[in-house]
Each structure stands twice: as C-alpha cells, then as structure tokens.
C-alpha cells in the first residue's frame, strides 16, 4: 500500500501547507534530503497554545504534536507532489513549551512519532530529539521540524 493510500485508509486528511510567517522557507531539499521547517501546533480552532505542566497535560500535548505532524506531512507533500516519494522519516526535532518541572517531553513528541509510523510503517521510525522550551512562537504548545529522505 502506498503512503497516500495508507493516509486514505486511516481516514487522515492533511491541512493546507501554510506559508511561512517570517523570513524563511517552509522546506528545502538538497540531494535526497528534505528539511521541513518547524511546524507549530494548530487545529481547526486555531493555534494550540499553553504550557505543558501548567495549562496542558501530556495527552493534550501529544494531540498538539500530532497536529504538528500533520502539518509536516502537508509540507512534505507540497514539496514533493506526493507522500509516495518519501523513502523514510530520518529525524524529528520537537520543542515542548513546558514548565521547569515538566519531564514528559518524550511522551508529548510521541504524538508526532506515532503518526509517522502509522503513515510510513517501519520507514516512519526515526531519530529524534524532544526538547523543553520555556516559550515557543505565538505561545504554542509544541513545534516540530523534520528531515525526510526523498526518492530521486
């Protein structure tokens, strides 16, 4: 089953690939690597804001991270024309807006990691960082960037 077929089978629809809000590009491809700029947590109601450990729990953070993952996939599709050109997810770097004593950043970023494995199977398993931050752009809960390997 192709990646695009798997998306449909899982009943996952991707959001629109949004334009950058500052002086950067949403993605850059060099050779067979596609670097997707950080995607912030948002849903149909707008930005998902708040700090983990104060305003949000790990489950809400994981849901926000999944939304970042959907935005990453939307950008990857915009860059390549089809997710079927993605060979594998190489790396995710996740930032979690959290209090000083919050320590469940890995569980939060799993929301995105789990999505990548759902969509790409074993090719969705990746290297990763889950980093705490005391603030993120626009007060969002989560921001995640990705590196994908793309077929020639």
pLDDT (tens digit per residue) in 27-63 = 999 999 999 999 999 998 999 999 999 999 999 999 9
Q: Which residue from 34, 143, 18 is spatially nearest to 82, judged by alpha carbons?
A: 34
| Paired tokens of 1 | 């089953």
The answer to whether residue 47 is domain-embedded is yes
The answer to whether residue 66 is domain-embedded is yes
Predicted confidence band of residue 93 (pLDDT cuts 50, 70, 90): very high
* pTM value > 0.85: yes
Q: Find the domain containing 99 and state its range.
A: 3-12+36-150
For tokens 């790396």, the residue is 91
Whether residue 110 is predicted with pLDDT greater than 90 in this model: the reply is: yes
The answer to whether residue 139 is domain-embedded is yes
| Paired tokens of 143 | 């921001």
Q: Given this model, what pLDDT does residue 21 score? A: 85
Tell me, what CATH number does 66's domain have?
3.30.1330.40
The answer to whether residue 60 is domain-embedded is yes
Whether residue 152 is predicted with pLDDT greater than 90 in this model: the reply is: no
The answer to whether residue 20 is domain-embedded is no
Q: What is the spatial distance between Cα 47 and Cα 141, in angstroms, rounded to a whole number?
A: 9
The answer to whether residue 27 is domain-embedded is no
Whether residue 140 is predicted with pLDDT greater than 90 in this model: the reply is: yes
The answer to whether residue 24 is domain-embedded is no
Q: What is the spatial distance between Cα 22 and Cα 6, in angstroms, rounded to a whole number?
A: 33
Mean pLDDT, all residues of the chain: 97
Give me the number of domains the chain comprises. 1
| Paired tokens of 107 | 């569980």
């Amino acid at each position: 089953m192709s990646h695009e077929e798997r998306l449909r089978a899982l009943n996952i629809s991707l959001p629109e690939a949004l334009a950058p809000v500052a002086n950067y590009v949403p993605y850059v491809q060099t050779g067979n690597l596609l670097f997707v700029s950080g995607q912030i947590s948002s849903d149909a109601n707008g930005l998902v804001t708040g700090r983990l450990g104060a305003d949000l729990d790990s489950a809400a953070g994981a849901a926000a991270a999944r939304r970042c993952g959907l935005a990453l996939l939307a950008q990857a599709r915009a860059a390549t024309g089809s997710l079927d050109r993605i060979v594998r997810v190489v790396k995710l770097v996740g930032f979690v807006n959290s209090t000083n004593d919050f320590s469940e950043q890995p569980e939060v970023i799993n929301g995105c990691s789990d999505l990548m494995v759902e969509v790409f199977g074993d090719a969705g398993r990746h290297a990763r960082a889950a980093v705490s931050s005391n603030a993120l752009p626009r007060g969002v809960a989560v921001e995640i960037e990705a590196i994908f390997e793309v077929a020639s």
